[in-house]
Amino acid sequence: MPEALYRRVLLKLSGEALMGDRTFGIDPKVVNRIAAEIVEAHRLGVEIAVVVGGGNIFRGVSVAAEGGDRTTGDYLGMLGTVMNALALRSAVDRLGVPAVVLSAIAIPALCETFTQRGAMTHFAENKVLIFAGGTGNPFFTTDSGAALRAAEMGCDALLKGTQVDGVYTADPKKDPTATRYEQLTHQEVLAKNLQVMDAAAIALARDNRIPVIVFSVHESGSFVDVLRGRGRSTTIAG
């Protein structure tokens, strides 16, 4: 069995993935399964930072679409990511690996506030880092937060665990004839306007030469498989 291909990775976890079969919120069974995979990867010796999404709780654009205030909606979305991060920390902790939540928005009663130097200290202490609050700014996404933190933390790769098992010629949920790419460049994703990740996140990864690997977080063992260079995924690099 090959060991991990990477020394330090940023795992972007879709908020919606944490819902399991529910229509809203957090399914503890799913959180426990993902936590177990993170712990397995940690035991391979990989340094892991996680950025959690919040789409299972709140999306600012939905508020705006109904005539509400986008900025307030986005802050609610960021708070949703803090809820997910706390649930994941508790699940990883319970499996015997220390984990810490670092939020872009200060909520000192619940978690630490992110600083790059503080986060590096936690890596040196062999902890799993869980980044909450996205970038801390409205009008951004947690994908952009993931690309930003991957650059700040010097990660070798950004692994996007999402609803689909890679990047397709079109959204596979809408177009059943769409076919999956094995490999693409960041520039091709932008030029073809492939919507699996927002353009700001892809551009930031491109400018910092960070490969992005898109895989399905719904398949058990997929995170560790990707770390070992196995399983179904699309690599965006070059």
Ligand X SMILES: O=c1ccn([C@@H]2O[C@H](COP(=O)(O)OP(=O)(O)O)[C@@H](O)[C@H]2O)c(=O)[nH]1
Annotated binding site for ATP: which residue ranges? Answer: 12-15, 55, 59, 162-163, 168, 171
Provide the mask over 88-127, with x wherever binding to ligand ADP is found by CB under 6 A and - wherever it is not: ----------------------------------------
User: In Å, how far from its chain's centre is CA 113?
Assistant: 18
**Closer CB to ligand ADP, 127 or 147, in the complex:** 147
Applying CB under 6 A, does 133 fall inside the site for ligand ADP?
A: no
Binding residue for ligand ADP, selected from 121, 126, 185, 195, defined by CB under 6 A: 195
Q: Which stretch binds ligand X (CB under 6 A): 27-35, 55-63, 85-93, 214-222?
A: 55-63
Q: Which stretch binds ligand ADP (CB under 6 A): 12-20, 26-34, 43-51, 64-72?
A: 12-20
Binding residue for ligand ADP, selected from 58, 75, 131, 168, defined by CB under 6 A: 168
- How far apart CA 110 and CA 154 sit, in angstroms, is 26
Quick one: three-class SS letters along the chain? CCCCCCCEEEEEECCHHHHCCCCCCCCHHHHHHHHHHHHHHHHCCCEEEEEECCCCCCCHHHHHHCCCCHHHHHHHHHHHHHHHHHHHHHHHHHCCCCEEEEECCCCCCCCEECCHHHHHHHHHCCCEEEEECCCCCCCCCHHHHHHHHHHHCCCCEEEEEECCCCCECCCCCCCCCCCECCEECHHHHHHCCCCCCCHHHHHHHHHCCCCEEEEECCCCCHHHHHHCCCCCCEEECC
Applying CB under 6 A, does 142 fall inside the site for ligand X?
A: yes
Binding residue for ligand X, selected from 11, 31, 39, 53, defined by CB under 6 A: 53
Binding residue for ligand ADP, selected from 35, 196, 204, 236, defined by CB under 6 A: 196
Q: Name the site residues for ligand ADP (rule: CB under 6 A).
A: 14-16, 53, 55, 143, 162-164, 167-168, 170-173, 194-196
Q: Name the site residues for ligand X (rule: CB under 6 A).
A: 14-16, 53-55, 59-61, 73-74, 77-78, 80-81, 134-135, 137-138, 140-145
